[in-house]
Amino acid sequence: MPGDIGRYQIDYIMVKKRFRNQVKDCRSYPGADIDSDHNLLMMKSNLKFKKIVSRKINDRWHINKLEEEKINDKFKELTNDISINERTDIHNRWGIIKSTMTEAASKTLKDNKRTVPKKEWITTEITSMIEERRKLKIGTTYESQRKYRELRNLIIRKSKEAKETFFEEKCKEIEVQMRNGSRDSAYKSVKNFFNDYKTNRGTIEDKNGVIIYEDIQRGDVWKKYLEQLYEGPELTGQEIEHEEVMDNRSNYSVLREEFDKALRDLKKKKAAGIDEIQAELWKESG
């Protein structure tokens, strides 16, 4: 401004909306010694390139089909035909069990990707109607076009009804969890329902509340935190001996009742482990 009684910020750095979360800091430096009537404007960003990872394509199993009685009985029948010789070692036994489970799942639960609905509220009836609509769309006659429009309107109505029913059941499930005091389960259901995903900013604060951006400094903060977390008195000889006795107890074989209880306590709708077999397959096997 005239008379140098006020100043305006007239320099900006434009960043695409896609990369705005990579901007860590942006500020002007009035005291910089540069031959210009503008102030130095500096932005600190962390550019991350996309990692192209080739993922292994596994057979897709439609686990929800286990709720159908016929498919469930067929799956149990196939998994019940395991014959293992008692002389077979533990590794070969596990290989036979795993191959039997995967083959049974491939025969009974494998679906064409086009027939697997993307939305949870899409029922089998609506899926079959969509397949019929796809066939009618190819027709060129007036009758086929009329049936296509009627079926399309029917699918829209059925989908809206199924969606409302699905939402009502979800809300009732959350209400029951809240009444029973299962707040953790209710919070998890709400989080999965609304798909509330928060991006990882990759920044932490030190003990003074200062935000750390540099990787080396973040490593030092984590090191100090872990040292403070695990800091404690050294173990005496008696405590070490007691821990060795407890470790020797783990050599005993697992009882059948313990195995059955662990199998019953497996939670459904979880990602598969290193064996690539979901918990539902183990619980419903013969």
pLDDT tens per residue, range 60-85: 677 878 878 888 888 888 888 777 77
Identify the domain containing residue 11 by its residue range.
2-45
pLDDT of residue 195: 65
Q: Are residues 133 and 193 in the same domain?
A: yes
In a domain, 111, yes or no: yes
Overall number of domains in the chain: 4
The whole-number pLDDT of residue 65 equals 80
Residue 202 confidence (pLDDT): 65
Q: What is the 3-state secondary structure (H, E, C) of the chain?
A: CHHHCCCCCCCCCCCCHHHHHHEEEEEEECCCCCCCCCCEEEEEECCCCCCCCCCCCCCCECHHHHHCHHHHHHHHHHHCCCCCCCCCCHHHHHHHHHHHHHHHHHHHCECCCCCCCCCCCCCHHHHHHHHHHHHHHHCCCHHHHHHHHHHHHHHHHHHHHHHHHHHHHHHHHHHHHHHCCCHHHHHHHHHHHHCCCCCCCCCEECCCCCEECCHHHHHHHHHHHHHHHCCCCCCCHHHHHHHHHHHHHCCCCCCHHHHHHHHHCCCCCCCCCCCCCCHHHHHHCC
| Pair 40, 81 in one domain | no
In a domain, residue 246? The reply is no
| Per-residue confidence (pLDDT) for residue 164, from 0 to 100 | 92
Q: Is 243 inside any structural domain?
A: no
Looking at 197, 212, 243, which one is the last position of a domain? 197
- Residue 241 in any domain: the answer is no
pTM of the full predicted structure? 0.41
* 181 and 226 within one domain: no
Q: Is residue 50 part of a domain?
A: no
The answer to whether residue 242 is domain-embedded is no
Residues 23, 71, single domain; the answer is: no
- Shared domain check, 79 and 32: no
Q: Within this chain, do residues 191 and 220 fall inside the same structural domain, yes or no?
A: no
Give the pLDDT score at 155: 92
The answer to whether position 147 is within a domain reads yes
pLDDT at 158: 92
pLDDT attached to residue 60: 65
- Do 69 and 39 fall within a single domain? no
Do the domain assignments include residue 178? yes
Asked whether residue 222 falls in the same domain as residue 172, the answer is no
The residue ranges of the chain whose pLDDT is under 70 are 1-8, 54-60, 111-117, 195-202, 232-252, 286
Residues 102 and 154 in one domain: no
